Every structure is written in C-alpha cells, then in structure tokens.
Structure 1
Amino acid sequence: MKQGTRSGILFVLGYGLYKAAGGSGYLSAMGMAGDNTGFVSVDAFMFANTASSVLVCLLVALVATRTSFRFPKRAVAVFAYACLVLDFLVVPRFGSPVVVGIVYGVSAMLLSVTWFVACVERTDDPPIFITCGLLLSTALQAVLGSYGLPDLAFLPVVLLAVSAALLLVLFATTGTVAREGVPLKLRTRASSVFFPALLCLMVCVFVVGVSNVAALGSSLEPLFGGVNMQMTNLVAAIAAATIVFCGAAAPNPVKAYTCVLPVLFVVFSLIPIVGEGLGPVGGSVMVGCYQAIAILFAAFSVKLATVERLDPVALAPLCFGGSSLALLLGLVTGTALGMLGSKGLPLPVLVMLVSVYPLGLVLFFVTRRRKGAHDVQVDAGPAVNEDASGEEVEAAFRKRAADIAQEYGLTQREEEILFWVARGRSARVISEELFISENTTWSHIKRIYSKTGKHSKQAVLDLFEGGLSS
C-alpha cells in the first residue's frame, strides 16, 4: 500500500471522528447554552459561534497571504482540540452562551482548516478521501442521533481524543504527498472556477439560515423544525459520495446547484400556498440539497488545490469563511423576518421572496459566466475546462507534454515525468508511480530544466500551461 493511501485512511478515520464528535458535542453544548436546539438556533450561542468562525477565517487568510509565517499545524491542532473538549465539558456550566459559542467557533474552525490542509498535503487522492471522511461522519452522527447519544458529553470527548491522536500520527508520517502551493489570486483560471462554486454554496447556506431562524416560534416551525437531520444528511451524503466515486474528477458544485435549484424553487414557492401541509418534507429537501452541495464543494476544493497547486492554508479560510459568513447573514435576515412576521406581515411570503430571489440571481450569474467561458475557449487549443471529463483532461495534459518533448528533445521518460509534475505530483509520488528511485526522478527533472532552459519548477509549469486553455 502506498504511503499516500495509508495517510488517506488515517485522514478518513480522524476527520470522520472529528466531524461526528463536533456535531454531537455541538448539540449538547447548544442545549446547555440556550433553550433553542433546532438545527439552526436563534440565541446568542449561534450568533457568537458563526461570527467567531468568520473572524478566525479572516485572520488565517490574512496571515497566510500577507506574511511569511508558516501555519503551525501540530500546535494549532493540539490547542483547538483542547479548547473543544473544554467547550463540551466545562465552559457550558460556567460561561455564558456567548462564551460557549466563541470557544466552539474558534476551535472548530481552526480544526477544519487544519484537516483541510492535511487532506491536500498528506493524501494521494484528496477528493476521494475527504468525501469518505464526510460520509463516515454523517453515518456516525446518524447512529449517535438514533440512540440519543449526543446528550452524553463524554462520548464526543472520546471521539475527539481518538481523532486528535490520528491527526498527530498523520502529520508525523514520512513520505507524504508534499505539494508546493501559492495563494489563490483573482483573475486567474482557478479563481474563475472557485468563486462561482463558493457563491453557490453560500446562497444555499444563506437560505438554510433564513428559513429556519424565521420559522422558529412561528406557524412555520413544524415545516422546518420537524426534520430528521441525521438521516437527511446521511441520504444526501450517500448521493454526493456516489457522484464523486463514479466520476473521473471531482464535480463542480455549480452543476449540482443548477440541478437542485428547480426543486428548491418548488419548495419555497409552495410555502405561502401549502404552509404546514408540506410537513417536514420541505425542510428535508432543503437540508439535503445543502448537504450534497457542501460535500461536492469540499471534494471540488481539495481537487482544485491539488491540480492548481494552491496553498491549502490560504484556500481553506475562503471555503469555510464564506460559508460561515453566509450563515451569519442568514441568521440576521431570518431574525428580522421573524420580527416582521410577529407584527402581522405574511411570514410565508417573506420567507419565500427572500429565499427564491437570491437563488435565482446566483443561478443567472453562474450560468452567464459559464457560457462566456465556453465562448472564449472556441479554437483555443486543448480545452481543459470544468466540463471536461477526467479522460479529456488527462489527454490534454499528455498532448501538451508530448508537444514540449518534441520541441525541446525530451526523452520518453522525461516526457512522462513532465506530465506528472504538471499534474501536481511530488518527486516522491512520481517515483512510486513509475517504480524508480526518488534520486532518479530528480535527475530527470533537472534535465527537463536544462533542456527547456528553465531554472525553476514554476517556470516549467508556466511553459506547460502556455499551451493549455483555461
């Protein structure tokens, strides 16, 4: 078994336990911090949790992009796990809901960033392994929820302890898939794909926040509050995992968004007409759509970081911070709608309008961008775009490697190594793929530098990308 695969198994187990423990402990902490224990709470705990998550992501992103400070993964992991354990066992009994929310938001967000970095840096197939980790966590939460175990505070602590040990072992492993990365920059191929996908996720999170906070304590509460969260998330996770496992490459969440949008439109359009007649079906559909898109977005993000050689420490805060910011805006908007509904205004109509219009605007925006991108790519050489299958992408990369080999007189082995370097593989992984020593791989890479007249890996990659369209 390859080292990257062994590291991937450690990642799946550790990440799955962390997410399951975080979800179970979250419900316990929220129950101690306030009376509202719906899947979105309207009390000070939820606002403090979400706001602190946004601030942590902003701080990490600024440090990663504006300074040369290296993200201390092990130290951050130990600190965050310790804070999370205290938040589950001690803080709720002595602190206010705001304190509980802040501690949870800071520690959980730091751990999410750390696990994201571990997936990109330590596994040889990040989209598959992060999907497996999320699938494991939803399955564990479904089991814990069915037995009422989230109320036992010691259980999340045990899961967190095992998860922390696995993460430290993962960071201690040698021969990992070390990838050099750069921050995501605007007006690049990567950003033109990433930000529309992030926008799709954010609008779904926003709708979840608005709908459920506005419904709490109103006539719409049975519609959104009677949802079996664990089973709904599990079904959605299985569907998303099937898409990832069956596809040759991680799918773009924009495509999933355009598929689920008509369903969400129908649900929200029926709220003013049917109301409670929808029962928990409307809430289940909404939460299931969000869960599926979130998992696809996670697989898409780690794939993008790998292929485009992006710095995962800088990319992770954009992913998690954008989602947290959308939820915070949804909480504020939902609270405002709830206040308007208490004054006699038609709450079902307000929820429908505030939810449907953002969904439609985002769909219009992303579909126009995708259409424009296709127009630019006509006759632009090998089209490696978001709609290309895995085989098409590989064929385009191999053709470009063959063109460079012919132009600069590279050998067949040097052409093969150039292909793998362009796909973001490290020298160690290339040596394992081709069954040669790492020193031999480096010798071939140096000869590629010499023959092409380039003096760095980035210069060779720029040469390679010069013949690929975005």
Structure 2
Amino acid sequence: MRDFASRIAAVSACGFGLSKAATSIGYLSAMGSVTRNVGFVTELWFMLASEAVSLVLAIVVASLAARGHLRPRSIPQWQALLVFFAGFLLSASGVLAPVPEPYSAALLGCIYGVASFLFCITWMEEFAYQDPSDSHKSMVAGLCIQTVLVVVVSMLPGLALTFVAMASAFISVLCHFDIVMRKTGVLGESAHGELSSACEVFEPVTARAFVAKFGTAFACLFVLVGVVGILHTSVLGSSFEHIVGGVSMWIPLAFATAVTAVAGLAALRLPDPTSVYKAVLPVMLALLTLLPFVGDYLGSLAGGAMIACYDVCGMLFLFFIVDAAHGHRQQSYLLSSVYMGGSNGFLALGLGIGLLVNYLSGDYDISLMTLLAFVAMYPLGIAFVMVMRRSMQGVRPAADGSNLGGQAQAQCLAQDANPSSNGALGRHEQAHEDGSRGDEGAVDTASDSLDAAASIPEERSEVFPVEPDWEAALHSFAEHYGLTKRETEICSYLVRGRSAKRIAEELFISENTVWTHTKNVYAKTKVSGKDDLMNLFEDEAFGR
C-alpha cells in the first residue's frame, strides 16, 4: 500500500502545482487580457471583481461547512476548469472587445474569482485526507512546479501564455480525477482507510470556537495581505511606482518557494503560522519605517522583500490549513474558505485604502512615503502585538494525550490541596441535570487548579512512583462501558475536570453537542455527575 500512497502523492504534487501555476498566470495576465503588471496589480476592476466573488463564495461555503451541510470531497474540480476555460476563451476570442474596458475586466475578474476559489479548496480538501508527511512533500513539489512554470511563462508571448495556462488547468483536473478514481477503485488497506476517513461527518462549528482556535493566525495573515495591497495601489502613477513596478514577480515567488520548501520539509507538522509572523512582521515594519527616508534608494528591493514576505506567509498558511484539518478533525472546506475569503476581502480593502492614500498625497501635497508608512505601520504593529501576546501566553494543544497521565496524578494532588474542587464540580453537574447550565466559572476555576497542580515539584511525585498508561486505561474504560469514539474523547476531558465550555472550545464543537455526549457517557457509566465519573475512572482504570 506504500506504493499506492506514493503514486497518489506524485499525482497530487503535479496537479496542485499546475493548478497554482494556472491561477497565477490567470491573475498576473487578467485572464490573458493584459501584458503588463505593476507588482501583482494588473487591472484594478479585474482584481476587485475577483476578490468580491471569492469573498461571496467563501461566505457561502464556510457557512455550509460550519453547519455540517457539506460532505467531504463533495465539490468537484471540473467546474473550476469550465469556468477557467471560459475566461481565457472570452479574452482571446475578442468577444469582449465592444464592451467598455471596466466592465469586461470586471467580468473576467468574476470568472477568475470562481475558478481560483474552486481550485484552491478542492486541492486543500484532497491534501487533508493524505498522510501529513506525504501531503507536505506533495505541496512543496507543487509549489516548485508553479515557480518554474511562472518563470517560463514570463518569457513567452501572449498566445503561448494562454495555452500554457489552459493546459495546466486541464492537466490539474485530470490529476485530481485520477486520484479520485484510484481511491475508489483500489480495494487496498490504504485506499479503504482514506475512504472511511473521507466519509466522516463533521459536527457544526461555532464562530466563537473558530475564532478562539484560529483567530490570531488568520487575523495576522489578513493584515499582512491588506498592507501589501495598500503598498501597491498607493504608488500607482507616482514617482515611487518603481518600488513594486520594478519587481519581476517570479523573483519573490522563487525566494518564497525556497523558504517554504525548507520549512515544509523540515517538519512533518508545521508550527502555528504566528511563529512565522514573528519573523516577517518586524521585517515589514523596518522597511516601512525606512521608506520615507531612503525610499528612492531602496526602490524595488523594498517592494520585492514585502511581496516575498507576503508569498511566504500565504504559502505556509496552506500547510497550516492541511495540518489544522488533520489535528482538529475540521473540514478543510471551512478553513480554506476563511483563508480565501479573508485574504481577498482584506486585499480589496488594502487596494481601496492605497488609492485613498494616493489621492490624499496628490491633493494635499503630503509626502506619499510618509503617509504610506503611517497608514500601513499601525495595522502591522497591532498584528505584531497580537502575535507576541499569543507567544507569551502559550497555546494549549487541542489534544494533549501525552500529558494526560501526569494530569491525572496532578488531579489527585490538587484535590488534596483544594478539597472544595470536587464540591464545585458536583454542584455544577447537579445544576445541569436540574435543567440549569450551572456556574461555568466555578468549574473552570476547579479545572485551572488541576492544571496548576501539574507544576508541583518533582519531590512530591513519589506519591505515584509509576506513571500509569493513560491511553491504555482510557481505551479499556471506554471498551468496558461501550463508549463511542466521540464519547471517549469527551470522557477524556470530563475525567480531568474540564467544563463543557472548555471542551467545546478545544474540540471545536458547540456546547450543546458536548452536553449531549456527556449525558450519554453518564448514562452508560451509570454515574450522576462529573465527580462520580472522575472517581469511577480512577478506581477502574488505575485500581485506586
């Protein structure tokens, strides 16, 4: 079955890389309608229309995915191909020649927005169901293919560019179709595992839980995208246009691909993207600070560095989406939609602010570089503060199974140190059984006391000289009482004193769903509340 996985990885790399190349070519050429771009700005009406359509599609798909109405792999990729072909054919055929330029550009932008959105979410969904090590290698190889093709196309005439873009999109769809056929036609162990995983039904997600889990990572990316948009449109038509206009787009793309390749292959699971922002945001802040003083000397170097920072973060975020889908068992459709919608929305916002900066600079005789630095540095500074706050506070892993045994020991010590904890937990559960939600604050306080006990010095650990095998104990406990997979997961949090609110945030589900599974666990184990469940688990799992 390893050969099967290797073939899937190779085909995925080819298809993903060609789809990225096709959409990059389509964007930089405005679906073949322009031959010159300023940085990544081609035709403003094209860009604004594509971003608006992507934002609308993202809202629709994210809403459906969050409510559990989208089945995994339910969106086909051939629709993206048809739309993509239609855009290039309309541009090349001259059908839009009589149409005023803003309207024709907006129409092509709408077509591009649909195609690029569908290509992105379908490939992210495919990688979400592959082994992380295989998906990372495939994505790195695909990004390298994209870079090579973009470099080659930059030296080709317009007609050849159209052919390469359409051929790349067509082969990408063939690769995607080949993967689907292989997984549905091969009755091997690996294929069967993939299919059963893909048929998993994901539970609804609350906006609050999503923001708590991924808010900082997404917000910093969106700020970065917006600032790059401000940089591009603010210098259009000015003496500083060379800052982005003098940048050959393949250079920052190649640099970003190299950085991403190193990061993608260095770890099977990439760190939270906020770790990358801690390096990228100071660089951009420094460049923006220098622009008013040495903007003429920095020139395209500053623009190229900022575009490269943007490319690095955008590429690494794709890895983050795949890893988040693995680690949190969340549909990649939701994560990809938020990524596409937020990026395009903030890029449009940045482009609009940049045009305003350009206008104010010309009409009120304000230094463009000073005004640009002033407008762009504030959001970047806020984003950097958010990143550092998160870094200082630390991020609690969603699944901390490796520390569960130690926490179970600490729980007993915490109960000795704080006898009122069990009473608070019991009162909360009893209040819920009576129809009330109880005092969540009391439960969280008790839970926090258990976490604090984990830091008790080692000399007290002789109370339990042998650390129990938590995972085996939990598995045995679940088998004994006939708990389902999700009930077992909920149970693992309950026996550590977690509240429904906290479980919902960590598992990315609603509190009502948590209470439903909690009641099932209580019924199957014949206990009346969390305190009884904790005692039962300790007695049966660890023989105490």
TM-score range, shorter chain: 0.7 to 0.9
1:120-199 equivalence runs, <5 A: 120-123=128-131, 125=133, 126-147=135-156, 152-174=161-183, 175=191, 177=194, 178-179=197-198, 180=200, 181-188=202-209, 191-199=211-219
Q: 2:488 aligns with which of 435, 438, 460?
A: 460
Query: How far apart, in 1, do the equivalents of 2:384 and 2:130 lie?
Result: 35
Deviation at 1:202, TM superposition (A): 0.9
Cα pair 2:252 2:308 within 8 Å, conserved: yes
- The TM-score, its normalising length taken from structure 1, stands at 0.80
Question: Could you tell me which residue of structure 1 aligns to residue 472 of structure 2?
Answer: 405
1:214 aligns with 2:281: no
Q: 1:170 to 1:464 in 2, by over 3 A?
A: farther
CA deviation map 1:87-110 (0-9, x unaligned) = 112246333111110011112112
Aligned partner of 1:404: which letter?
E
1:77 aligns with 2:105: no
CA deviation map 1:267-286 (0-9, x unaligned) = 11111111221121001110
SS in 2 for 1:345: coil
Query: How far apart, in 1, do the equivalents of 2:35 and 2:130 lie?
Result: 39
Question: Could you tell me which residue of structure 1 aligns to residue 433 of structure 2?
Answer: none
Q: 1:16 to 1:401 in 2, by over 3 A?
A: farther
Query: How far apart, in 2, do the equivalents of 1:153 and 1:375 lie?
Result: 48
Greater radius of gyration (CA) = 2
Q: 1:266 to 1:373 in 2, by over 3 A?
A: closer
Q: Which runs of 5+ in 1 are unaligned?
A: 385-398, 411-447
Deviation at 1:35, TM superposition (A): 7.0
Question: Could you tell me which residue of structure 2 aligns to residue 318 of structure 1?
Answer: 338
Deviation at 1:143, TM superposition (A): 2.9
SS in 1 for 2:29: helix
Query: How far apart, in 2, do the equivalents of 1:452 and 1:85 lie?
Result: 56
Cα pair 1:73 1:114 within 8 Å, conserved: no
Question: Could you tell me which residue of structure 1 aligns to residue 305 of structure 2?
Answer: 285
1:23 aligns with 2:90: no
Aligned partner of 1:453: which letter?
G
Cα pair 1:182 1:309 within 8 Å, conserved: no
- The TM-score, its normalising length taken from structure 2, stands at 0.69
Query: How far apart, in 1, do the equivalents of 2:15 and 2:223 lie?
Result: 29
Q: 2:121 aligns with which of 106, 113, 123?
A: 113
SS in 2 for 1:94: coil
Cα pair 1:28 1:151 within 8 Å, conserved: no
Query: How far apart, in 2, do the equivalents of 1:231 and 1:165 lie?
Result: 29
Deviation at 1:69, TM superposition (A): 4.8
Cα pair 2:72 2:125 within 8 Å, conserved: no
Query: Considering only aligned residues, what root-mean-square deviation do their CA atoms show, in Å?
Result: 3.1
Question: Could you tell me which residue of structure 2 aligns to residue 53 of structure 1?
Answer: 54
Question: Could you tell me which residue of structure 1 aligns to residue 417 of structure 2?
Answer: none
Q: 1:187 to 1:258 in 2, by over 3 A?
A: same
Question: What is the identity percentage for the equivalent residue pairs of Structure 1 and Structure 2?
Answer: 28
Question: Could you tell me which residue of structure 2 aligns to residue 349 of structure 1?
Answer: 370
Q: 2:480 aligns with which of 440, 451, 454?
A: 451
Query: How far apart, in 2, do the equivalents of 1:212 and 1:169 lie?
Result: 40
Cα pair 1:122 1:170 within 8 Å, conserved: no
1:232-247 equivalence runs, <5 A: 232-247=252-267
CA deviation map 1:305-352 (0-9, x unaligned) = 101100122221011111111111111111111111221222111111
Cα pair 1:30 1:45 within 8 Å, conserved: no
SS in 2 for 1:314: helix
SS in 2 for 1:382: helix
Question: Could you tell me which residue of structure 2 aligns to residue 427 of structure 1?
Answer: none
